Structure 1
Amino acid sequence: MNAMLAMKQYQRVSVQSEVFEASPHRLIQMLMQGALERIAQARGAIERNLFAEKGELIGKAISIVGGLREPLDHEVGGELSQNLDSLYDYMIRRLLEANRQNDVGRLDEVSGLLREIKSSWDAIAP
């Protein structure tokens, strides 16, 4: 078996195990980290002129950010929930623009916003 293939399969199993055992708080952290990683990878793909790969990676980041929007409870979360929903919507639009225009600046903008949210989320004790 190819060593790289074996490593990827091991990583996949490791992530699946972590997801299965994770608290809701930890799942959100993992989603945010996953989006940040995909955005960074998309940035690299743009810099290397790998546009098909860039499109895939940005698509994955958009899906993850969409996944962060889904559990928002506007009745319980009130204004904070509404603000996060609007911010996630903005991020998705900026990612779409970055994809269309191969714009690393927009990727950096979304990454910065997401890092700020993640930093606050990480500070909250589960």
Structure 2
Amino acid sequence: MNNRLALQQFSKAYENDALEVAVYGASPVGLIVLLYEGAIKALNQAKVFIGQNRFQEKAAMISRAQDILEGLRVALDHEKGKQVTRNLEDLYQYSKYRLGIANLNNDVNILDEIANLLGILLPAWQELDRRPKTPDAAASPAAKAGL
């Protein structure tokens, strides 16, 4: 095994271990951040594969992004933030549909479109994840006072 291949395998193993640690230590919102980042990364990798005429790998990356979007969609809580939830569900469905078209046509513009949409929302999720965790609202003094 040459040094370059060994380094690539080590790097991949380290990346997988780092991701596993991040997932186990993440809050629910932190997991959403990781999923958004994973989808964007998969779309960027799909673009590279299109440029290299590696269409099987391109399809796998687009499939990964679609799977992430479906996971985000089914995890939506329709009882909380009903309008936001509907908007996110529509966005995830639209994105999956557009990625199907991108996959069929090797369309990097669509991949950019969806990566940009996710990239617009990502900072909001990151900000939510950075906010200090507060106790249940029902236990807060305002809730106890009926406010």
Q: TM > 0.5 between the two?
A: yes
SS in 2 for 1:110: helix
Larger Rg: 2
Amino acid at match of 2:57: E
Amino acid at match of 1:95: L
Distance in 1, matches of 2:53 and 2:7, equals 27
Question: Where does structure 1 differ by over 3 angstroms across 4 or more consecutive aligned residues?
Answer: none
Aligned counterpart, 2:140: none
The structural deviation recorded for 1:123 is: 2.5
User: Which residue, out of 74, 77, 97, partners 2:78?
Assistant: 74
SS in 1 for 2:81: helix
Higher helix proportion (structure 1 or 2):
1
Aligned counterpart, 1:21: 25
The structural deviation recorded for 1:32 is: 0.2
Aligned counterpart, 1:84: 88
Size of the alignment, in residue pairs? 126
Asked if residue 31 in structure 1 is aligned to residue 35 in structure 2, the reply is: yes
Aligned counterpart, 1:96: 100
CA root-mean-square deviation: 1.3
TM-score by length of 2: 0.81
Distance in 2, matches of 1:78 and 1:66, equals 18
The structural deviation recorded for 1:11 is: 1.7
SS in 2 for 1:74: coil
Amino acid at match of 2:89: D
Aligned counterpart, 1:54: 58
TM-score by length of 1: 0.93
SS in 1 for 2:76: coil
Q: State the identity %.
A: 39
**Cα deviation 1:27-62 (Å, max 9, x = unaligned):** 110000000000000011111211111001100111
Segments of structure 2 that go 5 or more residues without pairing to the other structure are 133-147
**Cα deviation 1:43-92 (Å, max 9, x = unaligned):** 11111211111001100111111111121011112111011001100000
Asked if residue 113 in structure 1 is aligned to residue 78 in structure 2, the reply is: no
SS in 2 for 1:76: coil
Amino acid at match of 2:34: M
Distance in 2, matches of 1:5 and 1:15, equals 15
